[in-house]
Amino acid sequence: MIETAQAFGVDIGGSGIKAAPVNLEAGEFAEPRLKILTPEVSTPDSVAEIVRQELEHFEVPANIPVGIAFPAPIKPGQTIDFMANLDQSWIGVDVTEVFSKACGRPVTVVNDADAAGLAEQQFGAAKGQDGFVIATTLGTGIGTALIYNGVLIPNSELGHIELPNGKGDAEKWAASSVRDQENLGYKKWAKRLTKYYGLLEKYFNPDLFVVGGGVSRMSDKFLPYIDIKTPIVPATLRNEAGIIGAASYAAAKLLAN
């Protein structure tokens, strides 16, 4: 692994498993990332094997902190009890144990949206922002990170709030993957996002929303049409945020121990 990297990050998503060595001083990739498609049947064994291959590809030394951003609420030492977008066989699994075993070293696992939010707060769109920030990721699902005065309140799952009028689970109606599946134009999608962010605004009164995920690189096509009062800005680290945040979280955890 290249010397300018102090940690290694992996971001596990519904469509791809991305990894890169991270330069934590600059808050950026130290080498171009590697992306391997998420296996169609995304069981613990098949996903962990890909993560193992990614560590092998970058020749990550054993003493380098490894952070893994994972799309479910994560409580260290406890098993997964909710899984929206990977195989249901993750339920009942100790995710830290599975990845540590596959990688042959202890790794740190953190919720993917929390990782992305932390990275935006440290290096990106929410840097220097006081008060209450809600960072969101729009991808296969909707992820959320609640950050108050720089401190993360982990494992919020506001992508799953129940929408009024029988519309059900928010991410099944407003995620970026739904825009693709239903072939929605950006303006039409922005109407759904107005309803979604409007609800978050009503119940949480944040000072800033950050919109991340791969689609944030198209933010000029939909962000101006999200009609809410709270300032809403695109993530500046885009979909690199999960990897950078996971790496940084793992390094900080190692320092704290």
Closer Cβ to ligand BGC, 95 or 226, answer by number: 95
Binding residue count for ligand BGC, defined by CB under 6 A: 15
Mark 114-153 with x for binding to ligand BGC (rule: CB under 6 A) and - for no binding: -----------------------x-x-x-x----------
CB proximity list for 9: less than 8 A, separation 6 or greater: 19, 20, 22, 66, 67, 68, 69, 115, 242, 243, 244, 245, 246, 247, 248, 250
Per the structure block, which two tokens stand in for 114? 């929390």
Helix axes of 112-123 and 241-256: crossing angle, nearest 10 degrees? 90
Tell which one of 73, 154, 198, 214 touches ligand BGC (CB under 6 A): 73
Q: Do 22 and 6 contact (CB within 8 A), yes or no?
A: yes
With binding defined as CB under 6 A, does residue 31 bind ligand BGC?
no
* Nearest distance, CB of residue 88 and ligand BGC, angstroms: 13
With binding defined as CB under 6 A, does residue 111 bind ligand BGC?
yes
**Main-chain phi, psi angles of 66, to 5 degrees:** -115, 125
With binding defined as CB under 6 A, does residue 71 bind ligand BGC?
yes
Mark 167-186 with x for binding to ligand BGC (rule: CB under 6 A) and - for no binding: ----x---------------
* Nearest distance, CB of residue 74 and ligand BGC, angstroms: 8
With binding defined as CB under 6 A, does residue 158 bind ligand BGC?
no
Closer Cβ to ligand BGC, 76 or 104, answer by number: 76
Tell which one of 7, 47, 72, 232 touches ligand BGC (CB under 6 A): 72
* Nearest distance, CB of residue 230 and ligand BGC, angstroms: 21
Q: Do 181 and 143 contact (CB within 8 A), yes or no?
A: no
Tell which one of 20, 51, 84, 109 touches ligand BGC (CB under 6 A): 84
* Nearest distance, CB of residue 69 and ligand BGC, angstroms: 9
By residue count, the chain amounts to: 257
Closer Cβ to ligand BGC, 94 or 157, answer by number: 157
* Nearest distance, CB of residue 174 and ligand BGC, angstroms: 12
| Binding-site ranges for ligand BGC (CB under 6 A) | 71-73, 84-85, 111-113, 137, 139, 141, 143, 157, 159, 171
